[in-house]
Structure formats: C-alpha cells, structure tokens
Amino acid sequence: MAENKEKTRYSDAELEEFNALIVENLTKAKAQLDYYMVQLTDQQNTDAKIKGLDDGIGTAEKERLTTMAARQRKHIQHLENALLRIKNKVYGVCRVSGKLISKERLRAVPHATLSIAAKQKKV
C-alpha cells in the first residue's frame, strides 16, 4: 500500500490491464442490454396479440425490463467514461482525494472514481 501513496498515476502497463478488464465488462454489459431490449420487444409483441388478458402482469414485466435496461445503459456509460480516463491517463485517481484508488477496488468496480475512504465519507 505504501507504493500507492508515492505514485500519482498507474503505469501504462497497469492502465492496459485495466483497459482489457473494462473492455471485457463493456462487451458483457452491451450483450446484457441487447438481451433486455429483445425481451422488451418480445413483451410488446406479446401484449399486442393478447390484449386485456393479464394487463397488470405484462405492465409490471415491461417496467422491470425497462428499469433493467436503463440501469445497464448507465453502467455502460460509466465503463465508457472509465475508458476515457484510461486514455487520458487519469484512471484510478480518486476524484476527492487525488490519490490512487487501490487495484483491488478497481478490479471489483472498474469504473470507480472514488477510493473506499472517500466513498465511505460520502455515505
């Protein structure tokens, strides 16, 4: 941990490692969003065919899928922003303290912009 206090940014090799992780997560996130969108389309097609039968269930499912898709879009945006921070070589720097976020945290939450200490203070 002492090395994190001395470094002001991650090395290009470390940034490349995080880049690969984020690209992998982004691919999965986009596939999941595509899945939700297909489900929504299928739901709408089914609703058009079976109008009035169980409208409440269809509406609830549509709302659930819409919420999941919106959350996935937000997650994708966070990952894309993380890729921009890598490109600008500011990835992994806490936006509150200016210190490096631990590698463990970044591996768990690759789009993190706050260190654990800053995140706990914010809550």
Task: List, for residues 32-69, the tens digit of each pLDDT value.
Answer: 999 999 999 988 777 656 555 556 667 888 899 999 99
How many structural domains comprise the chain?
A: 1
Rounded distance between C-alpha atoms, residue 25 and residue 18, angstroms: 10
User: Do 95 and 113 touch, CB atoms closer than 8 A?
Assistant: yes
What is the pTM (predicted TM-score) of this model? Answer: 0.82
Mean of per-residue pLDDT scores for the chain = 88
The CA distance from 106 to 115, in Å, is 9
How buried is residue 99: exposed, middle or buried, by Cβ count under 10 Å (0-12/13-18/19+)?
Answer: middle
Q: Residue 10 belongs to a domain with what CATH number? A: 1.20.120.910
Q: Which of 3, 7, 1, 9 is nearest to 91 (CA)?
A: 9
Alpha-carbon span 62 to 58, nearest angstrom: 6
Q: Tokens 């097609």 correspond to what residue?
A: 45
> How many CB atoms sit inside 10 A of residue 109's CB?
15
Domain containing 71 equals 2-122
